Amino acid sequence: MFPEYDIIVVGAGHAGCEAAAAAAKMGSKVLLATMNMNTIAQMSCNPAMGGVAKGQIVREIDALGGMSGIITDQTMIQFRMLNKSKGPAMWSPRAQSDRMRFAEAWRLSLEQTENVDFWQEMVTGIETEGGKAVGIRTSLGITIRGKAVILTNGTFLNGIIHIGEKQMGGGRSAEKSAKGITEQLVELGFEAGRMKTGTPPRVDGRSLDYSKMEEQFGDENPSKFSYTDTQPLAQQRSCYITYTNPEVHDILKTGFEKSPMFQGRIQGLGPRYCPSIEDKINRFADRDRHQIFVEPEGWNTVEVYVNGFSSSLPEHVQYEALRKIEGFENAKMFRPGYAIEYDFFPPTQLNLTLETKPVENLYFAGQINGTTGYEEAACQGLMAAINAHNKINGKEPFVLKRSEAYIGVLIDDLVNKGTDEPYRMFTSRAEHRILLRQDNADIRLTRRGYELGLAEESRLKAVEKKVAETAEIIAYLNNKPLEPGDINSKLEELGSAPITEKQRAGQLIKRPNVEIEDIAKAVPAIGEYLSKFRKESVEQAGISVKYETYIEKEYAMAAKMSELENYNIKGKINYRDIPALSKEAKEKLLKVEPETIGQASRISGVSPADISVLMVYLGK
Ligand code: FAD
């Protein structure tokens, strides 16, 4: 009934969808096996993509040839570039998505991807031979063979849903939990752990009084995620902001004695930066209000997502408290919030390719690795697929450095440091964030994606054009002289000191409050010259000129680190035989088995002194 597949992807969440699409595009014959084909690419929690650091990840996925950016552009209802008042390293695209259309667009896109087959059923185990994954087995007792298997089970492994004192097995609201895989993997020598996450109630938008809330518009000139020719939004839907108050908090407190979290029924650690409303009230007892973002779930649906009100208190407590929020006095609840506990596998059991150490040709991606978030999951799916495809075709592993991509930072952190609470990306996790901007992900990664056989030639051509145009604009700005009379009134308007003699346009752009657009507006000849180029090339040139010194410094720093980074040590060192290594370093190095000195240096518990010992041992 089934052919032998090249790659079997288990689970069609954000990781699974990217994995299946990427492996198929690269030429693998793919089976996407998932419990329910009606929930392909379901957004389990908030209907939104991107945000701080996560938006950069979506841009990187897109630059490599992945699909999340395109699907988001096709189905978003609002777009905002967050942190625009800060430097460009912090600019982060965020889209409010149409939840149903997002899932539908992903499914249709996968259906149209050559080389992707589907199978709807619960996968209960993997087939192994001689320490290698060779397929899967399902709840119907079917065995399907594949040269590599990618597990992307999300929150489904032995998932337990909690609402107040009620508990039920489930991988997500109204969906079964997945059994069998954890137990089998533990038998095969894997270590498993438990985490939890939660989601807020959804309400009927027709029952809300938006006049009592603050309207939050999308950007006036919205941008988009994909570097391809997807279109920015012509129309957008607004979100709204309201607040909890002491009355809301008092009602919520009446449910604390039935809270699964406070009563110890939930053991797993939850996402630190996405706490439940009861957690916020408890931890910040002095605050008399918390912000609530009221977010539409789509263009046409009346369902509304109550962002900031995640809860696992009894449903009637959630309902009563909700109705004390300004604008929610008549709110009708569609679905209660809940918490979910699930199994994950500490990611120190992975290689940097996301292949597991205990079982060859088995890859893990997404929430199963202890991460949280669609974007974090999607990029792991993409990377696991690239590496699985390369491995079975005898090609080189594909690993991104920390200085090349947020994706590199994420995987490096997971594999080397591990995580005991749901891991989400932040700009602060990236030491080279000035290089890892949302505006240059295509310049950083599209050639790599093309060489992998993933990004289309049209993408490469587009980025080559952008690079050439950017260089041309930079040369022009660095040569274009401006007289005091051309620019001083603009400088005064911007609060910047006037010039007393001729200065190059590029020099002026380096000033803190002078932007390329200001110069273009003040000097018609420059404005006219720049209007010949695409917006992104002009933006890129402006950033490159303005931050030139910082960027160069950061490249130099990254190059220095990369000398160490690339020095291969795997299999060359017997850590047990080096007495000068600290006990903790020895244990960690033996556990992680780092591939390079750079990787070793980032293992928590391995100090710079331990690295010096290793360098001496290696004669470096
Ligand atoms: P998922 O999207 O969970 O997809 C897993 C897929 O695998 C599903 O299609 C499922 O049907 C399938 N599957 C699982 N097991 C099997 C099996 N044995 N056989 C066949 N198919 C299988 N993220 C945030 O960033 N912030 C939040 O606040 C947040 N809150 C959340 C609240 C809840 C209640 C839930 C459920 C998730 C929340 N998330 C949150 C997490 C976010 O949804 C995930 O990080 C993201 O969806 C993970 O993607 P994934 O592809 O790893 O897994």
- pLDDT per residue over 65-87, tens digit each? 999 999 999 999 999 999 999 99
| Placement of tokens 């205990």 in the chain | 358
Cβ of residue 274 lying under 6 Å from some atom of ligand 1? yes
Nearest to 134 by CA among 359, 387, 394: 359
Q: Is 163 close to ligand 1, i.e. is its CB under 6 Å away?
A: no
Q: Is the CB of 158 under 6 A from ligand 1?
A: no
Q: Which of 17, 122, 153, 183 to mutate to test the pocket of ligand 1 (most atoms within 8 A of CB)?
A: 153
How big is the CA angle at 146 (ends 447 and 455), to the nearest 5 degrees? 15
Question: Whose C-alpha lies nearest to ligand 1, atom 18?
Answer: 123
Give me the helix-helix angle, 374-392 and 14-25, nearest 10°: 30
Tokens of 247: 């009355």
Q: Is the CB of 177 under 6 A from ligand 1?
A: no
Q: Which two tokens stand for residue 324?
A: 């004390």
Domain ranges of the chain: 202-337, 460-559, 567-618
Report the alpha-carbon distance of residue 201 to residue 192 in Å, rounded: 30
pLDDT digits over 554-566, tens only?
A: 898 788 667 777 7
Could you tell me the distance, in angstroms and rounded to a whole number, from the CA of residue 155 to the centre of ligand 1?
A: 5
Per-residue pLDDT at 284: 92
Evaluate: CB of 34 within 6 angstroms of ligand 1. yes
Question: Other C-beta atoms within 10 Å of 9: how many?
Answer: 36
- pTM of the predicted model as reported, rounded to 2 decimal places: 0.93
Bridge partners, residue 127, by sequence: 135
Residue 608 pLDDT: 65
The pLDDT tens digits of the residues spanning 401-449 come to 989 999 999 999 999 889 989 999 999 888 889 999 999 999 999 999 9
Q: What are phi and psi of 132, to 5 degrees?
A: -120, 145
Output the CA 37–ligand 1 centroid distance in Å.
14
pLDDT in tens, 458-496: 999 999 999 999 999 999 999 999 999 999 999 999 999
Q: For residue 454, what are its two tokens?
A: 């993933």
Cα Rg of the chain (Å, integer) = 26
Where residue 606 falls (left for φ over 0; alpha for ψ -120 to 50; beta otherwise) is beta
- Is residue 611 helix, strand or coil? helix
Quick one: fold of 202-337?
Elongation Factor Tu (Ef-tu); domain 3 (2.40.30)
Annotation: binding site for FAD? 11-16
- Residue at 243: amino acid letter: Y
CATH class, domain 460-559, is mainly alpha
For residue 615, the model assigns a pLDDT of 79
**Spatial contact of 82 and 55, defined as CB atoms under 8 Å apart:** yes
Probe residue for ligand 1, chosen from 35, 344, 368, 426 as the CB with the greatest number of ligand atoms within 8 Å:
35
What pLDDT, on the 0 to 100 scale, is given for residue 336? 98
pLDDT at 288 over 90: yes
Asked whether 30 lines ligand 1 (CB < 6 A), one says: no
346-359 pLDDT, tens per residue? 999 999 999 999 99
User: Alpha-carbon distance 459 to 286, whole Å?
Assistant: 52
Q: How many angstroms is it from 343 CA to the middle of ligand 1? A: 12
The half-sphere exposure of 19 on its side-chain side, counting CA atoms within 13 A, is 37
Structure tokens at 350: 């992975």
Binding region for NAD(+): 270-284
Which secondary-structure segment (H or E) carries 143? strand 143-151
3-state secondary structure at position 478: helix
- Segment 26-72, tens digit of pLDDT: 999 999 999 999 999 999 999 999 999 999 999 999 999 999 999 99
Task: Say what percent of the chain tops pLDDT 90.
Answer: 87
Q: What is the dihedral of CA 64, 95, 51, 175, to 10 degrees?
A: -90
**ipTM, 2 decimals?**
0.98
Q: Is residue 198 in contact with ligand 1, taking CB distance under 6 Å?
A: yes
CB 279 within 8 A of CB 262: no
CA-54 nearest atom, ligand 1: 25
Q: Are strands 92-97 and 76-82 parallel, antiparallel or unpaired?
A: antiparallel
Q: Which residue has the tokens 């539409």?
A: 296
pLDDT of res. 270: 83
For residue 36, give the ligand 1 atom closest to its CA. 11
**Tokens in use for 201?**
């109630």
Residue 397 tokens read as: 């592993």
Alpha-carbon distance of 580 to 613, in angstroms, equals: 7
How many CA atoms lie less than 13 Å away from 414 in the CB half-sphere? Answer: 34
Ligand 1 contact, 36 CB (< 6 A): yes
Return contacts of 326-330, CB within 8 angstroms, 24+ apart: 326/212, 326/213, 326/242, 326/243, 326/245, 327/208, 327/209, 327/210, 327/211, 327/212, 327/213, 327/240, 327/242, 327/294, 328/203, 328/208, 328/209, 328/242, 329/209, 330/207, 330/208, 330/209
Tell me, using a 6 A CB cutoff, whether residue 125 lines ligand 1.
no
Tokens found for residue 50 = 């991107």
CATH class held by domain 567-618: mainly alpha
CA 191 to chain centre: 25
For residue 367, report the distance from its CA to the centre of ligand 1, in Å: 6
- How many CB atoms sit inside 10 A of residue 582's CB? 14
Mean pLDDT of 93-109: 98
What's the whole-number average pLDDT of the chain?
95
587, containing H or E segment? helix 583-592
d(CA 296, CA 77): 9
Residue corresponding to tokens 């007495």: 579
Number of other residues whose CB lies within 10 A of the CB of residue 194 = 16
Name which of 293, 200, 189, 283 is nearest 244 in CA terms. Answer: 293
Question: Is residue 117 pLDDT above 90, yes or no?
Answer: yes
367 CB under 6 A from ligand 1? yes
Nearest ligand 1 atom to alpha carbon 13: 4
First to last CA, the chain: 57
SS3 264: coil
Cα of 14 from ligand 1 centre, angstroms: 8
Q: How many CB atoms lie within 10 A of CB 509?
A: 23
d(CA 155, CA 137): 20
List residues bridging with 203 in a β-sheet: 304, 333
Which ligand 1 atom sits nearest the alpha carbon of residue 171? 36
- Per DSSP bridges, beta strands 116-120 and 30-34 are parallel
Evaluate whether 400 touches 15 at the Cβ level (below 8 Å).
Answer: no
> What pLDDT sits at residue 620?
64
> Cα separation of 85 and 81, whole Å?
10
Q: What are the counts of helices (DSSP H) followed by strands (DSSP E) for the chain? A: 21, 22
CA distances from 71 to 75, 110, 493 (A): 6, 11, 42
The answer, yes or no, to whether any atom of ligand 1 lies below 6 A from the CB of 537, is no
Angle, CA of 350, 352 and 357, to the nearest 5°? 30
